[in-house]
Amino acid sequence: MRFLPLYFLITLSLFASPKELNSFNSKFVQTIIDDNGKKITYQGELWAMKPQNALWLYQKPIQKSVYINGKKLTVIEPQIEQVTLRTLGDEIDFLEIIKKAKSLDGSHYSAIVNSQNYIIDFKNEILSSISYKDNFDNKVNIQFTNPVQNKSIESSRFKATIPSEFDIIKD
């Protein structure tokens, strides 16, 4: 299950609401439940900004920083002093998912993209959660706490600083 959060990051690299969303910041709790009922929970903070910039700061149970800049993915894992660099392929970003989302009742939306069904929830027009079943049949739910939409974010936040002593892996 180690790579499941990374899979989510690749496929959902930028957030938007049913209205125009240019930036998003929130604490989050990401829960993944496999088909045997095994549950893992991650906590952290997300920063996202058009076009396709995201920073996922995982704080619990491990520390990890995941930067997405267009088609470039950088994962920094301080506990193992390792950085993974990858070029993203044709993964669809969240903006595309939102564009295809259909309202279920005004605050709940559904989108089917690449055979994935995403449920996107809003409270008072603010993104509150995303749920989906991944390609491994894991149930993934991300709850956002105190989200802030369309506030200015410095573009420098999305620039990864790689410590010189860390090993670099290129995929």
The closest of 74, 46, 47, 78 to 64, measured between CA atoms, is 78
Can you read off the two tokens belonging to residue 41?
């929970």
Instruction: Give 71-88 pLDDT, tens digit per residue.
Output: 899 999 999 999 999 998
The first and second tokens of residue 171, run together, are 């995929």
Residue 63 DSSP symbol: -
pLDDT tens sequence across 26-65: 999 999 999 999 999 999 999 988 878 889 999 999 999 9
Residue 57: helix, strand or coil by DSSP? strand
Residue 17 pLDDT class (50, 70, 90 cuts): very low
In the chain, what are the domains? Answer: 4-170 (2.50.20.10)
Q: What's the pLDDT score for residue 90?
A: 62
Above pLDDT 90, what percent of the chain? 52
Residue of 123 and 98 predicted with greater confidence: 123
Residue 30's nearest CA partner among 59, 54, 69 is 59
Q: Decide: helix, strand or coil at residue 144.
A: strand
Q: What's the one-letter identity of residue 30?
A: Q
